[in-house]
Amino acid sequence: MRKLIRTESPEVLTKIDEVKGKTRWQVYGELYAQNRAKKPSFEFQWPQIEGKKLNQHLLPKLMAMTDDHCSYCDGFPLKRGDDTIDHFHPKTRSEFYSKVCDWENLYLSCKHCQDSKGSQYEVELLRPDELDFHFNRYFIADSDLKCNYPAVTC
């Protein structure tokens, strides 16, 4: 995992919805929460904006932020169709419905990491753009490959 410096939220998400008086990402989060409340099996779909789906607006920005590397495993280059957007706080959990389009919650991910992580989440989970993320605090490389995690117990 490389340290990731998160850029400012793109305008496509921060634009104010004239009717609701809130940013688009907030409105989408509320709408998604309402839909899930009405129908628990409701599945999230990226909203359509200016002729294309929101994820298509966001992917190039996320790719630029990670230099096309997977945010989690550092996989590179990501093949077409293998460049997915992971919701760090899973969109299937009610406490995170509001973050479904929150820029801070979206990470470029390869399909393998996306499938492995799924809806798992724990408070201790390391975020690639954590402000105090120092590689050596979390990982240790052992040339004999006897131990590689966590550093404190090696």
Q: Which residues sit at the interface with Zn ion, rule CB under 5 A?
A: 70, 72-73, 75, 110, 113
Q: How far is CA 22 from CA 25, 36, 50, in A?
A: 8, 20, 18
Query: What is the SS3 assignment for 69?
Result: coil
If the CB atoms of residues 28 and 72 are measured against Zn ion, the closer one turns out to be 72
* Nearest approach, Cβ of residue 34 and Zn ion (Å): 32
Number of helices and strands in the chain (H, E)? 5, 6
Tokens of 92: 């299937």
Angstrom distance (rounded) from CA 107 to CA 87: 7
* Minimum CB–partner distance for residue 17 and Zn ion (Å): 33
Choice between 33 and 85, CB closer to Zn ion: 85
* Residue 48 CB, nearest approach to Zn ion (Å): 28
The residue (of 1 and 12) whose beta carbon lies closer to Zn ion is: 1
